[in-house]
Amino acid sequence: MLKFVEINQQNPKKRKVDNRVDDFKEIYDEFIHDKAKQQSSRCSQCGVPFCQVHCPLHNNIPDWLKLTAEGRIKEASELAHSTNNMPEICGRICPQDRLCEGNCVIEQSGHGTVTIGSVEKYITDTAWKKGWIKKIKVEKEIDQSIGIIGAGPAGLACAEELRKLGYQITVYDRYDRPGGLLIYGIPNFKLEKYVVERRTNLLKASGIKFEKNVEIGTYKSLKELRKKHDALLIATGVYKPREIDLPGNQLKNIFPAMDFLIASNRKGLGDKVEKFDNGMLNVENKNVVVIGGGDTAMDCVRTAIRQNAKSVKCIYRRDKQNMPGSIREVNNAEEEGVKFLWLSNPKKFIGSEKVSSLIVEKMQLGKPDSSGRKKPEIIPNSNFEIKIDIAIKALGFDPENIPNLFNEPDLAVSEWGTIKINMNSFQTSIPGVFAAGDIVRGASLVVWAIKDGRDAAVSIQKYLQSKKLSKIIAA
Ligand SMILES: Cc1cc2nc3c(=O)[nH]c(=O)nc-3n(C[C@H](O)[C@H](O)[C@H](O)COP(=O)(O)OP(=O)(O)OC[C@H]3O[C@@H](n4cnc5c(N)ncnc54)[C@H](O)[C@@H]3O)c2cc1C
Ligand code: SF4
């Protein structure tokens, strides 16, 4: 270990731009065994590992790096799985620059971070290839059941943890495939679908039941589920697109980001998608503008490039240094030919029936606001016009009105509409109903959803044990 002085930082190679924009496959090559060992040996084995502190799951990073450096990949994989239900997914899509790697001590000392995410991916992908990842063997079945609403990472992590303990689990989802945004939001060039599917298939093989195409609130009520199960988890994510109130908003060919991404992901999965097949959501040969600067916007611009758009522009009101999206993804987008109009604000859509151009105004950064970020201000008389065929709005997401949708007025929500929970027990205002993931936090990250799902599982177990005990005492 401590080889960071002799060995330079090296990530797996990225595919060449010309080659990678021709398909939707992941863009990073895999580590070969020796490279993973070598890169892991750069870890300085800090007494207080800040990488671990800043990983939401508190993954035991220094220890699995040491095991990898010693070639003990099976043990490294077991250790990685002890705190994370999907290490290969986090290794691929966590914004490591803001989490573990951003806090690596050797990064701070100017040697370049240990490539933690790539090693995590290598360890777990190897474990899959070698057949070390097995379905759950339940030692003793427990006659209590949990209904989980939402098959995204929060719901799946909770389901897995509770199934390991022997509980009977049913996961309900309004979509036809489990995985939530891992399947229908995040494009293949960041996370190929087989990576998600092999996880969900393993959960099915482990005895977790999946009921698909079931929207709770429409086809089944929360009350029905409360009668059927001993406890419930709401892990429905956030999907209501944030709007911008611009003149011309009603024109055709202006879409929310998820319409575009779901259509593209479904096509990749081989589905029939009417709005894509009739050309509406297919941007081939079109001038595309994406409004927004987060990860969703980056996924949209890079999807548009792969659909062979004529031009792809991204409009963001701050500058590159102040973008909310991961800088790694912004750099990837720039390499792939996306043109960023920094410090720009959309002002007006123009067109007769369909949108044909967008008026944009220039911005400058003023004094920091209460959050500490410099506030964008309009530069007077700086308007300019860009010709577009399609506009995609990627301005973030808000929660749907869950108490309304579930017809449960007693379900308390915060002023932002996220579900209120007791932060210690993950329980909502309705006894026996828990909540986790984006629907509690607001739009966040996969790694936080997994963390919440795992923590909720611990609380649900406690709740169910005390419920059982009360029944025994009463009898
Ligand atoms: C385009 C995009 C790109 C992203 N990229 C990244 C990234 O690179 N890295 C990262 O860490 N995070 C990323 N995120 C964020 C990440 O995907 C989410 O934080 C995470 O998926 C939240 O997990 P969740 O389980 O809470 O919800 P979700 O993944 O949203 O899953 C919720 C599930 O609930 C189901 N559901 C909703 N309502 C109902 C209902 N009434 N009845 C039944 N089922 C219902 C939905 O169909 C869905 O399957 C991205 C998000 C988006 C939108
Ligand atoms: S889960 Fe994410 S933050 Fe934690 S070690 Fe892995 S890549 Fe880093």
Q: Which two tokens stand for residue 281?
A: 């959501």
Structure tokens at 45: 């084995």
Protein residue closest via CA to atom 30 of ligand 1: 237
Average pLDDT for the chain: 95
Q: For the CA atoms of the chain, what is the radius of gyration?
A: 23
- Site to probe by mutation for ligand 1, drawn from 222, 236, 261, 290 as the one with most ligand atoms within 8 Å of Cβ, is 236
Q: Is the CB–ligand 2 distance for residue 90 below 6 Å?
A: yes
Residue 342 CB: number of other CB atoms within 10 A? 17
pLDDT at res. 195: 98
Q: Determine the residue of 97, 158, 182, 186 to mutate for testing ligand 1's pocket, defined as the one with the most ligand atoms within 8 A of the Cβ atom.
A: 186
Specify the pLDDT at position 62: 96
From ligand 2's centre to the CA of 117, what distance in Å? 6
Q: In this model, does residue 457 exceed pLDDT 90?
A: yes
For residue 76, what pLDDT is reported? 97
Residue 67 near ligand 2, beta carbon < 6 Å = no
* Ligand 1, atom nearest to 406 Cα: 41
Confirm or reject: Cβ of 65 under 6 Å from ligand 2.
no
The whole-number pLDDT of residue 326 equals 84
Reply yes or no on whether the pLDDT at 291 is more than 90: yes
Question: Where does 277-381 show beta strands of DSSP type E?
Answer: 287-291, 311-315, 339-341, 344-351, 355-368, 374-378
**Residue whose structure tokens are 């000392």:** 109
Ligand 2 center–CA 279 separation, angstroms: 39
Domains of the chain: 3-130 (1.10.1060.10), 145-238+399-474 (3.50.50.60), 245-396 (3.50.50.60)
Q: Which atom, in ligand 2's list, is nearest to the CA of 94?
A: 2
Residue 325, pLDDT > 90, answer: no
Task: Evaluate if residue 370 carries a pLDDT over 90.
Answer: no
Of the listed ligands, the closest to the CA of 446 is 1
Structure tokens at 286: 């079109």
Q: Are strands 344-351 and 355-368 parallel, antiparallel or unpaired?
A: antiparallel
Checking if the pLDDT of 29 tops 90, the result is no
In this prediction, residue 35 has a pLDDT band, given cuts at 50, 70 and 90, of confident
The pLDDT of residue 178 is above 90: yes
d(CA 306, CA 290): 14
196-201 contacts: CB < 8 A, separation 24 or more? 196/89, 198/128, 199/85, 199/86, 199/89, 199/156, 200/151, 200/156
234 three-state secondary structure: strand
Question: For ligand 2, atom 1, which residue shows the shortest CA distance?
Answer: 90
Q: Residue 409: its pLDDT value, please?
A: 94
Yes or no: say if 190 and 299 are a contact pair by the CB < 8 Å rule. Answer: yes
Residue 52: pLDDT over 90: yes
CA of 18 to the centre of ligand 1 (A): 31
CA 1 to centroid of ligand 2, rounded, Å: 20
The protein residue with its alpha carbon nearest to ligand 1, atom 20, reads 446
Contacts 24+ apart (CB under 8 A), 262-267: 262/184, 262/185, 264/187, 264/303, 264/307, 265/183, 265/184, 265/185, 265/187, 265/188, 265/193, 266/184
pLDDT confidence band for 248 (50 / 70 / 90): very high
What does the angle CA 81 – CA 82 – CA 84 come to, to the nearest 5 degrees?
A: 55
Is 0.85 surpassed by the pTM of this model?
A: yes
Other beta carbons less than 10 A from residue 423's beta carbon = 9
Whole-number pLDDT of residue 92: 96
Distance from C-alpha of 257 to C-alpha of 238, rounded to nearest angstrom: 13
Residue identified by tokens 């003990």 is: 72
Answer yes or no: is pLDDT of 381 > 90.
yes
Residue 11 pLDDT grade (very low, low, confident, very high; cuts 50, 70, 90): confident
| 399 Cβ contact list (under 8 Å, min separation 6) | 238, 240, 413, 416, 417, 418, 419, 438, 439, 442
**Site residues for ligand 1, CB cut-off 6 Å:** 93-94, 149-155, 172-175, 180-181, 185-186, 190, 215-217, 235-237, 261, 295-296, 299, 405, 437-438, 444-447, 449
Q: How far is CA 154 from CA 65, 98, 144, 356, 448, in A?
A: 26, 21, 20, 41, 8
Average pLDDT over residues 142-157: 98
